[in-house]
Structure 1
Amino acid sequence: MKKPSDSWGSRTGLILAMAGNAVGLGNFLRFPVQAIQNGGGTFIIPYLICFLVMGIPLLFTEWSIGRFGGKRGNHSTPYILGSMSNSNWWKYIGVFGIFTNVAVVAYYTYIESWTFIYVIHTLVGTFTPMSQSEVSMFFIHYVNLEGSDFGIPYLPVIVYMVVLGINVYILSTGLGGIEKVAKIGMPLLILFGTVLAYKGWSMGAGYASETFPDANAWDGINFLWTPQYTSLLDPKVWLSAAGQIFFTLSVGMGSIQCYASYLKENEDIALNSLTSGFTNELVEIVLGSAIVIPIAAGFLGLDWVLDNAGFGMAFQTMPYLFIQWGELFGMVAGICWFGLLFFAGITSSLAMGTPWMGFMKDEFGWGKVKGAVSFGVLALLMGLPTILFYRYGYFDEYDYWAGTVSLVVFALLEMLLFTWVFGIDNAWSELNRGADLIIPGIYRWIMKYITPLLLVLVLVGALITPMGNDWGGAIAGLLNGEGWMLDPGSLVSKISHQDLQLLMKNDPLHKEFYTNKMFFSSLARIQLITLFLFIALLVWYSGTKRKQISHE
């Protein structure tokens, strides 16, 4: 058996690194938006149920798969998955575990670069004299490469390369460097988040204004935490809750398996996986829900939040709101906000580099520096178009296909491999080996039947999403012989560009823009397919090398 050239220094470091992998931008940016768009309290119950019956089983599975492959000398998903079956094709399914990380880090690092530059702008007081609309337009000009920030043309590209370079440098130091960043970054993230969450919880109605006389932070908190049990019958809410689980736990990517492949043979993965999972949930539910929504509701009112909820609030609205607390504390709040986003981002993006590096080390003997630099070059080649053509949806295409669809597909396939091909008896034995924690026996049944079924439903739901996400109306229409009207956001509609064609039809004055957007979205898909085939080719070549060595 091969001995790993790298290992975790301590259990604390491992847990923090795993939690850092999971605790990402989705905890603070995506979770509040999903909660708002799905009715607040109507979202929480399905979300928690999905965590129990889908999130935890996936964590159990990925930790187990990773440790199993690691004790056989494999530290990347193609050969980790390949070691669990006699079929040669599973290693090509494992390509998803490298492909997804490279494709996601390409645009994810761009978001990190926004947080990095916004910390600097907060320090120098750029947002202090701006109105709400000016702060909003500042972000739009930045991502559209309009004008010159700090008098430097194409500064977003430069900042992106700097942040990517920071990632590459830390990766080049191996697991030890990642562990150190996690030990520093995670406590700072929680500290910054606690400061902002306390402020959000204590605002009350003290910041209501003539423009927003009904503004009250507690309206936002009550909106989130008042359960509405009708959500249990709404498929749209369930799909959104299940989708958030993927984002928040970083499952279906391949990074957890890679981290776990460096564990000791009898490491307690049952307790470790639950600890990292619940740490992530604590950060998301306690901190993620207590910042954006309460603070925005405290200044602008709940109705404004409901009408304007979106990913851009973090950059287009929050800097302005922080200023309302006064210049000094506004600066402190801005540093806390963008600082915690930066640490949340980088602890996740570092995990995305390890599957590629593990693969290149195992199969081609590349060291840490060479592996990290090659990962950075590949990410740069993939990422530059997401910056240069952001306005034409290049970024969105990566996020949808690599950061959403790919996760569900890979998670479903690895779940079937672990519980059906490898076998639930072997899977259960592997999961419990070395465990001090007694896992409830019901999880055998959940992992084999319920979790795969939920993953199939999520995938089918995304594939044929009905118009307006109205599942009840769509089913009734189908029974009445009226057919099934697909939503422009469905996977089928996106594959055929029906979503853009509809926008073009409804907005003929901007036909040229949508034509360009269709062209660049197609180009982004070609680039993603090329990346997948390139990695698959490397896996095939490495397989031929292994055969040659075994015959010698």
Structure 2
Amino acid sequence: MAREQWGSRIGVIMAVAGSAIGLGNFLRFPGQVAQHGGGAFMIPYFISLLLLGLPLIWIEWTIGRFGGIFGHSTAPGMFHSMWEKNRFIKYFGVIGIFGPIVISLYYIYIESWLLAYSFFALAGSYEACTTSELMLSFLKGYQGLEQNQFFSSLWPAYTFFLITFALNGLVLYFGVQRGIERVCKYGVPLLLILAVILVVRVFLLGAPDPAQPENSVLGGLGFMWNPDWSALTRGKVWLAAAGQVFFTLSCGIGVILTYASYLGKNDDVALSGLTAASANEFAEVVLGGSLVIPAAFAFLGASAVTVVAQSGVFNLGFVTMPLVLQKIAHGNFFGFIWFFLLFIAGVTSSISLAQPAIAFLEDEFNLARRQAVLRLMAVIFFFSQPAIFFLGRGVVDEMDFWGGSFFLVVFATVETILFGWVFGMDRAWTELHRGSDIIIPRFYRWIIKYVTPLFLLLILGVWLFQDWLPVLFCEGVSEENLPYIIGTRLMLFSLLGSLALMVRQSWKRREIKLLENGGTNDD
């Protein structure tokens, strides 16, 4: 079966950028900046980008392209190709399939909220919500967490979930070039244009209330960017910056590996990886940093924004921003732009999350694209139901912790050590520069081999020291939620075990084929 390939270089860059640009750029980032020293936060942020973000980007693009040469589109095969003498390394690669699937279980549902709110904004459905309490009640009613004057059941949310789920499946059905590449090639520029329109509108606000001239967009920018230098002495600020860089670039998920595997042997990865990362940083720092906090500051003032910055992604996106945008002329239209740009960002991310598992089924079990998509989407649909119906029981948080946080750091640590130490830095450096359009400074050899893995081990070590036992023993989980948390863990680790067994089965199939052809298998 012929492997798929990208149709153009801009296509793969837009696809990787699309997988990275999401809610975190426009909601999580400004909240992190406001909470951790304003402009001072950007010092550890950019240091983390140089020492952690860019090295990981180059590592994943290089590993992905290298694995593609051997017909592998996912981490198990790629890791085995890099360390053939180790029969267990491929099982660490299972995380690169497991993580994206787990994130998909709740991400598509949250993505569907954005589509729904795009419709609600145009229809004026939440116009009566003039306070944060009412807007939060509207959100909870939609989520099925309570019955109120806005919603009496979960069916509106479930309907939008089905629409969004079907849309994702349709894009994936058309494949890498005709589906993913086409959507990202037009979707990413569109969402950036919509974000620019919204930023321009926010900047034109000035000081909306003449009686309170201190509440202005410029004041909001100052609130975000004026540095509190004392923040640089706090370790949690550095860890927060490193965490933000790590998650915003979609490192450690396995998606970049799969996307890069569809490149040709001599296609550039150094400049392409840098370009995709730069597009993400533009969306995050320039656009994301100019929207939520400045707009909220102009209407709510400094004291309220401090609370807003700490209120979390959902409150920022679904409560604060709709309230703020309602206060400006043509607020419904700008509310639509806000939610629709986030929806586009969600789609370009969610289709990327599904691709590693689809590629695994295609490569290792010789399934046709249609069969692989149908089987994976059936699994995602079935296992996503707890996230929908038990949202208030901590199920999504549990999924996000294991699939979207812990295992990402573990996976990134493994691939970094594998790349710099096992594969060998000389060989890795040569592979990174094969067909390269730029020459990466040589000091990055030292960073990739020593600094980046130590950075990741530090993040992992701090978490293990501070939070491992409380998480393991479900400290702080209420008695009524405990069965749902335990059930979610059992479901997730059953999925992880099943994927490991599938990897073992696929290698047994390879072994049989090699024996039939008179070859040998190191495994």
TM over 0.5: yes
1:228-285: CA deviations, max 9, x gaps? 3333322101111111112210000000000000001001100000000011001100
Partners of 1:300 and 1:163 lie apart in 2 by 33
Q: Is 1:170–2:171 an aligned residue pair?
A: yes
Q: Which residue of 2 aligns with 1:267?
A: 267
Which of residues 502, 510, 513 in structure 2 aligns to 1:538? 502
Cα contact 2:215–2:299 (8 A) shared by 1:
yes
Cα contact 1:69–1:80 (8 A) shared by 2:
yes
Partners of 2:89 and 2:169 lie apart in 1 by 29
Q: Which residue of 1 aligns with 2:205?
A: 203
Cα contact 2:194–2:341 (8 A) shared by 1:
yes
Q: Which residue of 2 aligns with 1:481?
A: none
1:18-68: CA deviations, max 9, x gaps? 111111121112112222222322321111110111000000100000000
Per-residue deviation, 1:454: 0.5
Cα contact 2:206–2:298 (8 A) shared by 1:
yes
Q: Is 1:464–2:428 an aligned residue pair?
A: no
Cα–Cα, structure 1 residues 15 and 233, in superposed 2: closer, same or farther, change >3 Å?
same
Per-residue deviation, 1:446: 0.2
Amino acid at match of 1:144: G
Moved beyond 6 Å, runs of 4+: 148-152
Partners of 2:229 and 2:183 lie apart in 1 by 41
Partners of 1:232 and 1:267 lie apart in 2 by 40
Cα contact 2:308–2:320 (8 A) shared by 1:
no
Q: Which residue of 2 aligns with 1:143?
A: 143
Q: Which residue of 2 aligns with 1:243?
A: 243
Per-residue deviation, 1:151: 6.8
Partners of 2:254 and 2:389 lie apart in 1 by 28
Amino acid at match of 1:313: L
Q: Is 1:319–2:322 an aligned residue pair?
A: yes
Cα–Cα, structure 1 residues 425 and 289, in superposed 2: closer, same or farther, change >3 Å?
same
Q: Which residue of 1 aligns with 2:217?
A: 217
1:205-250: CA deviations, max 9, x gaps? 22466xx774222222112222333333221011111111122100
Cα contact 2:25–2:283 (8 A) shared by 1:
yes
Correspondence list, 1:52-451, <5 A: 52-85=50-83, 86-132=85-131, 133-147=133-147, 153-176=154-177, 177-207=179-209, 214-309=214-309, 310-311=312-313, 312-326=315-329, 329-451=330-452
1:133-187: CA deviations, max 9, x gaps? 2112101222234338677653222322221111111001011211111122111
Amino acid at match of 1:63: W
Partners of 2:323 and 2:276 lie apart in 1 by 34
SS at match of 2:267: coil
Q: Which residue of 2 aligns with 1:525?
A: 489
Cα contact 1:208–1:299 (8 A) shared by 2:
no
Partners of 1:367 and 1:152 lie apart in 2 by 39
Cα contact 2:142–2:154 (8 A) shared by 1:
no
Q: CA RMSD in A?
A: 1.6
Per-residue deviation, 1:323: 1.2
Runs of at least 5 residues in structure 2 that lack an aligned partner in the other structure: 517-523
Partners of 1:197 and 1:491 lie apart in 2 by 41
State the aligned residue count: 509
SS at match of 1:206: coil
Amino acid at match of 1:293: I
Cα contact 1:16–1:186 (8 A) shared by 2:
yes
Amino acid at match of 1:317: T
Between 303-312 and 534-543, report the one with greater CA deviation: 303-312
Amino acid at match of 2:323: Y
Q: Which residue of 2 aligns with 1:496?
A: 473
Per-residue deviation, 1:457: 0.8
Runs of at least 5 residues in structure 1 that lack an aligned partner in the other structure: 466-489, 501-513
Amino acid at match of 1:515: E
Partners of 1:110 and 1:40 lie apart in 2 by 32
Cα–Cα, structure 1 residues 213 and 498, in superposed 2: closer, same or farther, change >3 Å?
farther
Amino acid at match of 2:240: S
Cα contact 2:33–2:224 (8 A) shared by 1:
yes
Partners of 1:72 and 1:232 lie apart in 2 by 46
Partners of 1:491 and 1:224 lie apart in 2 by 32
SS at match of 1:515: coil
Partners of 1:349 and 1:153 lie apart in 2 by 22
Amino acid at match of 1:68: F
Q: Which residue of 1 aligns with 2:42?
A: 44
Cα contact 1:125–1:331 (8 A) shared by 2:
yes
Partners of 1:544 and 1:194 lie apart in 2 by 52
Q: Which residue of 2 aligns with 1:503?
A: none
Partners of 2:504 and 2:384 lie apart in 1 by 25
Partners of 1:282 and 1:291 lie apart in 2 by 13
Partners of 2:393 and 2:59 lie apart in 1 by 38
Between 160-169 and 491-500, report the one with greater CA deviation: 491-500
User: Identity across aligned pairs (percent)?
Assistant: 40
Cα contact 1:123–1:335 (8 A) shared by 2:
yes
Between 3-12 and 86-95, report the one with greater CA deviation: 3-12
Partners of 2:191 and 2:434 lie apart in 1 by 33
Q: Which residue of 1 aligns with 2:520?
A: none
